[in-house]
A and B are shown apart, each in its own frame.
Chain A
Amino acid sequence: MIEVNRQGEVWVFAEQSEGVLNEVSLELLGKGRELADKLSVELASVLGGSDVGGLADELVAYGADKVYVADDKLLAEYQSKSYEKMLCELIGRHKPQIVLYGATVIGRDLAPRVASAMKAGLTADCTDLQIGDYEIGRGKEVHKDLLLQIRPAFGGNIIATIVNYDRWPQMATVREGVMALPGRNGKAKGQVISEKVKISVEDLSLEILERHREQKKVNLKSSRVIVAGGAGVGSKDNFRLIWDLANCLGGAPGASRAAVDLGYIDHDHQVGQTGTTVRPALYIAVGISGAIQHCAGMSESAKIVAINDDPEAPIFGVAHYGIVGDMNEVVPRLIKAIKSKA
């Protein structure tokens, strides 16, 4: 761990694979900028890899004041031990107060290892990050300007705000799409700092024999319209109605975790905290009760239509239009209405 360091920078781990930055790192720079400004400190990004210096400008364009680049052949492929060592060494050297990671396969593999090695705190899958104070014993002890790490917990039934006031850095992971992508400013100026880290061949404990990338079957993030079905759809056969409605709107079919768990549709279509976070122009939720984890992934949609036979379903709380009724009647009527206007 490092001592509490109020002048410490806000850091974003820049995740890259085969020379391409993961978009979640850029999204985090947007949030990181906000946090750094609030704390009046600089925003820095840490970039590891081999021959990746060219990506530093991109990180600056998305808001980083500084980019620490650890360029090393041994960092060419992501591996948990080598990247853990790199980050721990740089954190020890520069003592940032906050470190943010994308909650990707890499981020979720790396961040806990760094937290363990640093004996520092880590909160997974935050849906919001703020700066605020933490009081113990009615003001007896006040810790000012901490990172408030906000996430749904316990199956989405509660929202917990987590702090780490003494064993820094304060670290959190955030899923892709949760934070909005900031605008790119190609004229932005930033400092690019080359860093040496002690990594040896022994730190590469795994051998990657084969890698196979699949195109995602659906790109929810870029869909203008999403029609999502939940457990209330009732069966895989009935889910056909969701596809039909999505097709007639030129949209993509989405689903709640419950619908995915029931096997109605595959995980690529899942919207929510453990799926994809989306902000489409129109989101139609059919037979979705509206657990907070689902809502966390879609509540910023421009227009939300909820269709559910239970008038008490929480989904109506985030909806702009609510239709209480049997989806088997409502959805075909909706399709008919849309087709007749087109």
Chain B
Amino acid sequence: MPYDCVVLVKQVPDTSLVTGNAMNDDGTVNRAALPAIFNPEDLNALELALEIRDEYGGRVTVITMGLPKACDILRDSLYRGADRAILVTDRRCAASDTLATSYILSCAVKKLGKYDIVLCGRQAIDGDTAQVGPQAAEKLGLAQITYVEELVELGKGSITVRRSIGSGWEKVKGKLPVLLTVMDTANEPRPAGARRMMQFKKAKSVAEFGKEGATEEQLAELKAKGLLIEQWDLDDLEADLQWCGRDGSPTKVHRIQSVVLTASGHKKVEPTEEGIRGMVHELIEDHTIG
């Protein structure tokens, strides 16, 4: 029996590569200064969805909310095997916190209509909050299984998975439809397929044509070739604007401080035997060790 999977993905700045100019003077993040990547655990969620499709059939639809540039990860999803990719983009999404984001994403999932399993990465590396998955589940009225490490069984309208409980694991069974958040330990994401890369490297959304926009012919051509990345705005989603963007976000950033750890007079110890022996002596004297 086929299962339709929806994977919610996010393009994130590669926070492991933050440099000095990553922050604007007003304390916001200068995203342009950082390479943008596919949120790592979202790739594990995509992989799990693809494995389910390869085994049981069905379709894998990938949805992201973001700027037109986020189409990079949608193309990447197509290269890896996704059947359909949708960009949710709208100026009015700006400044959404996790609650507003989960509302907008849940509207997009609802618009898809039929689905069996919604998958998300456990958390995104730019915020590490792990909130959007459970919040989207609540908004969709779905049961959730977080911290999924392995699919154990799928069939007869239910799913069994092994999930991490921090110090150990448990096997849980839930009815479909369900939302899963997937850990990086769940699988090894497959690489982009060379043939699919050739096939989809020109896939594009309308937003990527910039201000000029695309001509009717360009769009018709992309569409005919199956290379038009679908694009939805908040009107398409029939989203209630009071729950989107800044207005829809209860949490506000009050203050941002760049982290400058001041060199508060630590004692410099020479890396010599003598220097180190002196330090050890002090630590023994003050009963820190010994």
Contact = CB atoms under 8 A, between A and B. Distances in A.
A139 B116 CA distance: 50
A334 B279 CA distance: 9
A153 interface: yes
A158 B256 contact: yes
B273 interface: yes
Interface stretch (B65-73, B194-202, B203-211, B262-270): B262-270
Given A105-B147, A214-B168, A162 B271 contact: no
B271 A324 contact: yes
A302 B288 contact: yes
Q: Which of B126, B263, B271, B276 has the largest number of chain A CB atoms within 10 A?
A: B276
A210 B170 contact: yes
B175 A205 contact: yes
A153 B261 CA distance: 15
Contacts of A111: 131
Q: Is the interface of B mostly helix, strand, loop or mixed?
A: mixed
Given A121-B99, A155-B15, A211-B170, A318 B261 contact: yes
Contacts, number: 245
B256 A124 contact: no
A162 to B, nearest CB: 5
Interface residues of A, number: 90
Contacts of A154: 13, 15, 18, 22, 29, 126-127
B143 interface: yes
A336 interface: yes
Contact of B261 (A205, A290, A334): A290
B280 A282 contact: no
Interface of B: 13, 15-16, 18, 22-23, 27, 29, 97-99, 102, 125-139, 143-147, 160, 164-175, 243, 249-259, 261-264, 266-273, 275-277, 279-281, 283-284, 286, 288-290
15 contacts: A116-B135, A121-B99, A122-B251, A124-B130, A154-B29, A155-B18, A157-B22, A158-B256, A207-B172, A209-B170, A209-B172, A211-B169, A316-B263, A337-B277, A341-B280
